Structure 1
């Protein structure tokens, strides 16, 4: 009997309407931490509800330089929203990431060539990679138009896998 009530309760939560409405949009910002780059980052995002539970979220993030390495990433993630309380939604996420890792090589290379000196500062080196995002998050409604979220995603990128923890806010319209 207890299992039946639990099952019915879960079905009610899963089948009840979400408060995310189709065609609803939001724009927001976030503060992130990348585990591989070991640096904080700032980002902006745009959200669009394709259907009531399905949302697409393109985002752009910049991770500040740490040990002469900084990073830009562009993500396109999909969220499937599950309402668990009146103002709380949980969501799995999956998507695409394009990351550009920038290495600032400050080492000098000095060569004597006959009667002149050639100095090479090493320049900058960039690595661009495309990968996948997998993760989960929670969104908390703050009144009618504002929401906060906490999210963890793992970026599966060749040679540059990392976990990203994000805290953000968005204005819905």
Structure 2
């Protein structure tokens, strides 16, 4: 019975694909959000999404963790997404990828810089407002030595 329910749900999820998840389609977006840990940082970012195949895309991005309590960073990500389009206006996707981040800790009298290589894993959802506009949210966990953190971001993107 569980297998039957799973197959029915998989079939429903697979119905309908939107233009934003077709092979060869692209999107450029702006994100705003936060990284949460011992120090909470607001985040600002830009990204590019390119569908290599229907529903499978790569997603490079650049994110700035705004300085808070002396901690800030720049992060370069390369993620992969597999989009499950529920209908023509909504989809969700798991994500996984790599992160290269440049952290700066500033104190009253000294500062230190750290470069870290890490990994991302998470889940996102997107609403296809128009053929050219996508609005979404993404939750991911950044696994990187000394700076692990959950992150939540909101994105608006232009599709072409």
TM > 0.5 fold call:
yes
C-alpha distance in 1, partners of 2:87/2:102? 38
- The answer as to whether partners of 1:13 and 1:83 remain within 8 angstroms in 2 is no
C-alpha distance in 2, partners of 1:88/1:129? 35
What is the TM-score normalised by the length of structure 2? 0.90
What is the TM-score normalised by the length of structure 1? 0.84
C-alpha distance in 2, partners of 1:99/1:8? 40
Q: How does 1:106-125 map to 2 (within 5 A)?
A: 106-107=108-109, 122=110, 124-125=111-112
CA separation of 1:93/1:7 partners in 2, compared to 1, >3 Å: closer, same or farther?
closer
**1:22-70 CA distances to partner (integer Å, 9 max, x unpaired)?**
0100101000200124011110000000101101100101111111111
Task: Tell me the SS of whatever aligns to 1:62.
Answer: strand
Residue of structure 2 equivalent to 1:130: 117
- The answer as to whether partners of 2:134 and 2:159 remain within 8 angstroms in 1 is yes
Name which one, 1 or 2, has greater alpha-carbon Rg.
1
CA separation of 1:7/1:155 partners in 2, compared to 1, >3 Å: closer, same or farther?
closer
Are 2:150 and 1:163 aligned?
Answer: yes
Are 2:11 and 1:24 aligned?
Answer: no
RMSD after superposition: 1.9
Residue of structure 2 equivalent to 1:89: 91
Residue of structure 2 equivalent to 1:80: 82
Q: Which runs of 4+ in 1 moved over 6 A?
A: none
Number of aligned residue pairs? 157
Residue of structure 2 equivalent to 1:110: none
**1:84-108 CA distances to partner (integer Å, 9 max, x unpaired)?**
233111100000011111112322x
Residue of structure 2 equivalent to 1:116: none
Tell me, which stretches of 5 or more residues in structure 2 are unaligned?
Answer: none
Task: Tell me the SS of whatever aligns to 2:9.
Answer: helix
- The answer as to whether partners of 1:53 and 1:80 remain within 8 angstroms in 2 is yes
Are 2:35 and 1:34 aligned?
Answer: yes
Residue of structure 2 equivalent to 1:111: none
C-alpha distance in 1, partners of 2:82/2:116? 26
Q: How does 1:129-148 map to 2 (within 5 A)?
A: 129-148=116-135
